[in-house]
Structure 1
């Protein structure tokens, strides 16, 4: 994954622990509850925790989406997502959904929206039944045709028959012209994860980023209880990228608190 730490899991968690990170969000492509024990053992050996299960590779690597015109592709996509939800449930953490919901084709928009809504309802129910919780990520229209703005995503999860929350990503919010600090201020209580990157490049965070203290304040005052994910380009050196972001975060936190 171009936005993830580029190393085998055991090496990645060891290096992240040495930098001071508390946990990891694990992006999965094809797996299920059976992987929980090995994953937990690998991550906890470094003193970290698995905080969430992401599903980006289902679409990013295999092009499987919930709105594909092919019924077999849609079934396969949902099968993968349900496996991720079962893994998340076994670990007792949320499962996130981003671009795997897909994009619309001319003339199929209404049907594709219905396919996506039904599938996400099923995913939310599966997650809840397994002791997990679905977190839906508003993403830019460059990635998907559904739920671009936080308000759209919130309205949809409020319609579900299972508990769900949001993932907010500073890159996607910027791309949609949404004020990041305002969105976090308003939605901190229903946000399970905040994904961070530098504003223009989507690279590692930089010291002195003026948004970081404001975001910390918004999260604290809004009752945020989730986790922060550094989801950004790695610039060819994941340890260095992770260190840069960690330094920027701790500098902002120390200055704010």
Structure 2
């Protein structure tokens, strides 16, 4: 049976200007468990602030696992990225990811750390910037290998970032770095915007897939729009990927809890056995 997870944000007291109490986090996790999810995709801004004991307790109480650890807030809120012209910024970005990796190895199931926005979103990344990105990815991959952890680079639409937009570009980067701890995270939303053939792109990613995310058209819950989930899951099955599929909406029609439930009901009914 295919396992599905849902994005949940982890913020905590002391983490700059955003506060989320343990109670609020537990309530969100409990809602997802009640909806039928078996995992949560954890979005973390700074792993040094994560209360691992509280996190593990909340997961255990609800029989959930962490499917992946996201890093997008490191860039979107703290503006740390791999393509910066400043070595100090790049070093801080790499250290944040190392902290994310340290968190991941404390969690059951060896969830991958997703590297998407942290690459940096400058519209015109020069060759020097690309070399910086590759160097930072290599540092993170080597650290992950030392920790027996995994990291996954995510192709992101050119509307948000100017490079590594397609699966082909991600595969080339992963194979050029050549460290087994580095793979790819595929996202249906980005694939739909950037790939000529979504199914073929998934097959191309193949053995490199460490994580898969889904959302429907315009980032709504699965079944809201017209994305070809049949083709997506058929191709994913062909790759042999056995891990979680993370549901990652950013727009809501009925509110986060109800949309999470509706999306999961659709996925389970149509693709729960497609593994």
TM-score (ref. length: structure 2):
0.83
Aligned residue among 232, 246, 252 for 2:264: 246
Give deviations 1:213-241, integer Å, cap 9, x for gaps.
33222222221122111111242721011
Aligned residue among 168, 180, 183 for 2:201: 183
Indicate if the aligned counterparts of 1:94 and 1:134 stay in contact, CA closer than 8 A: yes
Indicate if the aligned counterparts of 2:216 and 2:225 stay in contact, CA closer than 8 A: no
**Residue aligned with 1:62, SS:** coil
1:84 aligns with: 100
1:73 aligns with: 89
**Matching of residue 46 in structure 1 with residue 68 in structure 2:** no
Are the structure 2 counterparts of residues 248 and 105 from structure 1 closer, same or farther at C-alpha, using a change threshold of 3 Å? closer
1:155 aligns with: 172
Q: Which consecutive residues of structure 2, in runs of 5 or more, have no partner in the other structure?
A: 1-5, 10-19
How far is the alpha carbon of 1:140 from its aligned partner?
1.2
**Matching of residue 28 in structure 1 with residue 50 in structure 2:** no
How far is the alpha carbon of 1:47 from its aligned partner?
0.7
Indicate if the aligned counterparts of 1:137 and 1:153 stay in contact, CA closer than 8 A: yes
**Matching of residue 202 in structure 1 with residue 219 in structure 2:** yes
Quote the Cα distance in structure 1 between the aligned partners of 2:190 and 2:121: 16
How far is the alpha carbon of 1:67 from its aligned partner?
1.3
Are the structure 2 counterparts of residues 67 and 14 from structure 1 closer, same or farther at C-alpha, using a change threshold of 3 Å? same
2:239 aligns with: 222
Indicate if the aligned counterparts of 1:140 and 1:175 stay in contact, CA closer than 8 A: yes
How far is the alpha carbon of 1:142 from its aligned partner?
2.1
Q: Which consecutive residues of structure 1, in runs of 5 or more, have no partner in the other structure?
A: none
1:110 aligns with: 127
**Residue aligned with 2:80, SS:** coil
Give deviations 1:117-149, integer Å, cap 9, x for gaps.
111100011111112111110111222222111
How far is the alpha carbon of 1:71 from its aligned partner?
2.7
1:96 aligns with: 114
| Most deviating of 148-157 and 108-117 | 108-117
Aligned residue among 132, 138, 142 for 1:121: 138
Indicate if the aligned counterparts of 1:192 and 1:227 stay in contact, CA closer than 8 A: no
Quote the Cα distance in structure 2 between the aligned partners of 1:41 and 1:62: 28
Are the structure 2 counterparts of residues 234 and 142 from structure 1 closer, same or farther at C-alpha, using a change threshold of 3 Å? closer
| Most deviating of 120-129 and 25-34 | 25-34
Alignment length, in residue pairs? 253
CA-based RMSD of the aligned residues comes to 2.5
How far is the alpha carbon of 1:104 from its aligned partner?
4.2
How far is the alpha carbon of 1:105 from its aligned partner?
6.3
How far is the alpha carbon of 1:59 from its aligned partner?
1.0
